[in-house]
Chain A
Amino acid sequence: MAAPTTLPSALADAVRDESSLRRFLHGLPGVDQVGVEQRAAGLGTRSIKKAAKLHAIDLAISMVDLTTLEGADTPGKVRGLAAKARRPDPDRPDVPKVAAVCVYPDMVKTAADELRGTGIGVASVATAFPSGRSTMDVKLADTRFAVEQGASEVDMVIDRGAFLSGRYGQVFEEIVEVKRACGDAHLKVILETGELVTYDNVRRASWLALLAGGDFIKTSTGKVQPAATLPVTHVMLQAVRDWKTQTGELRGVKPAGGIRSTKDAIKYLVAVHEVAGPEWLDPHLFRFGASTLLNDLLMQRRTQLDGHYSGPDYVTVD
């Protein structure tokens, strides 16, 4: 197996062959379910008010991967979303832009045309999203197509079947191959934690994706319930923190699916701040995969600035 980056010797050994990888992943410390859920609930009681809240809202807006992943997507829908991404709140030009727009590969060109020169990324799901049930050739072709069309970020899915049956080497190789096919595009690796179920699996899959060169680890496709949860995100934040301790490299985390309210988003930011560390409070290292979250953030932002709640008719629906 070929490691994509130069790893410290302890980690380079982990990816030498399939059995080394297996030993490494199974040697990771376990995750105690009760403990991690208690910690997530405890941090969830942080009270973020006033200037800290306004800062968090703007930060969260700048971290949104504004997403549409529907069979019914059309160029019109994607253009609307791109417009929203550029100016989330047309009445308030000081609102930050979102981080990226996330679409299916065939919509990438439309999105890229709309977003050229704005600094907003175009993220495309790929690799037979959301199930990942296809051949390697198809997955790679899917990735290449997305990048050719102008995607600056690729959100791939791992083969959960292979992972759950213990074929870690296969999952690793797929990520390495997709990373290569991405070229300069950033790779986010979707673990689909709702199908991995246990926190031990989440930790192993996180390390697997980091070892294989994923720039981000992402919780979910949004097509499986449960999608992102706070404790799962805690485990993944701990993984990128441990990764930094061992390698000095910063990798990102993206919870996706089910984060709809400002209140929830702030709980995630508190976890980023206190579990991973303040340096992860950056759109390059933390994203929200969301569609409806943005409007709630905008409404809460107005509430903070105006001193009263305005309501959903005052934000744009695209």
Chain B
Amino acid sequence: MWEYAPAPESRDIANLKPAYRMFVDGQFVEGSGEPLKTINPGTEEVLAEVSTASKSDVDTAVKAARRAYDRVWSKMPGSERAKYIYRIARQIQERGRELAVLESLDNGKPIKESRDVDVPTAAAHFFYHAGWADKLGYAGYGPDPKPLGVAGQVIPWNFPLLMAAWKIAPALACGNTVVLKPAETTPLTALVLADIIAQCDLPPGVVNIIPGAGDIGAALVEHDGVDKVAFTGSTEVGKTIQRQLAGTNKKLTLELGGKAANVVFDDAPLDQAVEGIVNGIFFNQGHVCCAGSRLLVQESIADELLEKLHARVSTLRVGDPLDKNTDVGAINSREQLARITELTESGEAEGAQRWTSSCPLPDKGFYFAPTVFSGVSQAMRIAREEIFGPVLSVLTFRTPDEAVAKANNTPYGLSAGVWTEKGSRILWMAQRMRAGVVWSNTFNRFDPTAPFGGYQESGFGREGGRTGLEAYLDV
């Protein structure tokens, strides 16, 4: 037997500090909220204490953002704004290793993903949007589209740095100023991003980052000084925000949950489909709103595909997020682990066949072994509810029409996948599947040039690409 020796990335690279403060009006300041302790979900140890905002801090931050908008940022030529945004992008690259290790410590995702996906994609978003800053007249929204004002942004814990980039980069490029609230369990990389922003000499108040729990997010989105709200997170909270904002002039985009269908036809490239299924549901421990959590496989190849899938999933290495050979890291929090456990138990209780990888799990920390349910029907909770964990539900279909019907039979509509060697069928399926993103013969690929967003209970508005600029322009 050939055992891979542990290959941990050094946690010293994260430059972890005992305490972090919020970033308001160009300064790192103590918030007047109750400080929170952020933990490493891989070990359950406390990483750092983070000061949080109170409602009055939210007010201070929004006012700072308003001042910065009125006095500097909205008047600055796009070509000048671009220089700042390019600088941020380059600094993210410069400090890429630090950000990657810190992200894995705080979030629990494997270092290979924070290093190869989160950090480079975050930098790419700043690079891409920096390019737009002086070309907004050519984006298709009129000759001189105007910014909206102050953007209040609330982001989730699954891609802490990357979601901050998705939110901040287009806002700045379009001439808005920002107050961003990172998730309660993962505030650290956003605060390092604040440090980068400070080092890049952005005018004070252009970007403000205020950690806190859900109540601070609520205070931010309902603040009168906010002109635009962008939220990524659960459908439940999204609905609350939409109710809060009804009747106001605030522009809103929501990027919420999903229950994506990954449809595999009998003529699919099987081995690569297996890779795509694995990447679709086990990437980032399944903490992905667009995860391919429902596998729809044509019945004639279901047995063969499942056999290959089980063999492949058995090779996934679950464990220390900082080990460079870890494929599946830690579940982000005890609460999330409990939710995943509860939903998988419901799957068994409702009669689906559970298969769980026999991989060893660490003694400490929040871990969940990759799990595949077969014999799942649309009526089961594991086929309808977002599990947000490394749990795949396998359903079968007989004809393309049935595949479309089952794929669309969900209140969500964020993403979908099609696996077939037939180009015409890819296009046929893509036209019919009600999902914001349809991947063909791949899954979970992200690029700043491609718009991302959902239908129905997955939210509305698009982020990324030319289309994504609309959310931050007065059009």
Name A residues whose Cβ lies closer than 8 Å to a Cβ of B.
29-32, 34-36, 38-39, 45-53, 55-56, 59, 238, 245, 269, 273-274, 278, 281
Known: A29-B270, A45-B324. A35 touches B275 (CB 8 A): yes
B182: CB under 8 A from chain A?
Answer: no
Residues of A within 8 A of B456 (CB): none
List the count of A-B residue pairs having beta carbons below 8 Å apart.
67
Report the separation of the CA atoms of residues A274 and B278 in the bound assembly, to the nearest whole angstrom. Answer: 14
Residue in B closest to A273 when the chains form the complex, CB atoms: B2
Known: A46-B324, A46-B325, A47-B7. A32 touches B2 (CB 8 A): no
**Residue in B116, B269, B275, B276 with the greatest tally of chain A CB atoms within 10 Å:** B269
B5 with A53: CB separation less than 8 A: yes
A35 with B7: CB separation less than 8 A: no
Known: A32-B441, A34-B441. A46 touches B272 (CB 8 A): no
Residue in A closest to B278 when the chains form the complex, CB atoms: A39
Report the separation of the CA atoms of residues A45 and B110 in the bound assembly, to the nearest whole angstrom. Answer: 13
A38 with B275: CB separation less than 8 A: yes
Range of interface residues on chain B? 20 to 34
**9 A–B contact pairs at CB < 8 A?**
A29-B267, A32-B272, A34-B442, A47-B4, A47-B324, A269-B2, A273-B2, A274-B315, A278-B2
A35 with B5: CB separation less than 8 A: no
Report the separation of the CA atoms of residues A29 and B304 in the bound assembly, to the nearest whole angstrom. Answer: 12
B3: CB under 8 A from chain A?
Answer: yes
Known: A45-B324, A47-B325. A35 touches B4 (CB 8 A): no
Residues of A within 8 A of B1 (CB): 278
Residue in B closest to A272 when the chains form the complex, CB atoms: B2
Name B residues whose Cβ lies closer than 8 Å to a Cβ of A.
1-7, 112, 116, 267-273, 275-276, 307, 315, 324-325, 421, 441-442
**Residue in B5, B271, B421 with the greatest tally of chain A CB atoms within 10 Å:** B271
B119 to chain A, nearest CB (A): 14
A13 to chain B, nearest CB (A): 17
A29 with B2: CB separation less than 8 A: no
A29 with B3: CB separation less than 8 A: no
Report the separation of the CA atoms of residues A278 and B3 in the bound assembly, to the nearest whole angstrom. Answer: 10
Residues of B within 8 A of A59 (CB): 2
Residues of B within 8 A of A38 (CB): 275, 442
Residue in B closest to A37 when the chains form the complex, CB atoms: B272
Partner of B5, one of A31, A50, A273, A278: A50
A35 with B276: CB separation less than 8 A: yes
A29 with B269: CB separation less than 8 A: yes
Residue in B closest to A53 when the chains form the complex, CB atoms: B5
Residues of A within 8 A of B273 (CB): 35
B279 to chain A, nearest CB (A): 9
Residues of A within 8 A of B315 (CB): 274
B421 with A30: CB separation less than 8 A: yes
A39 with B269: CB separation less than 8 A: no
Report the separation of the CA atoms of residues A241 and B272 in the bound assembly, to the nearest whole angstrom. Answer: 15
Report the separation of the CA atoms of residues A16 and B48 in the bound assembly, to the nearest whole angstrom. Answer: 69
Residues of A within 8 A of B272 (CB): 31-32, 34-36, 39
A35-B275, A269-B2 are known; give 20 further A-B pairs, CB within 8 A.
A29-B267, A29-B270, A30-B268, A35-B272, A36-B271, A38-B442, A39-B272, A45-B324, A46-B325, A48-B4, A48-B7, A49-B6, A51-B5, A52-B2, A52-B4, A53-B5, A56-B2, A238-B271, A274-B315, A281-B2
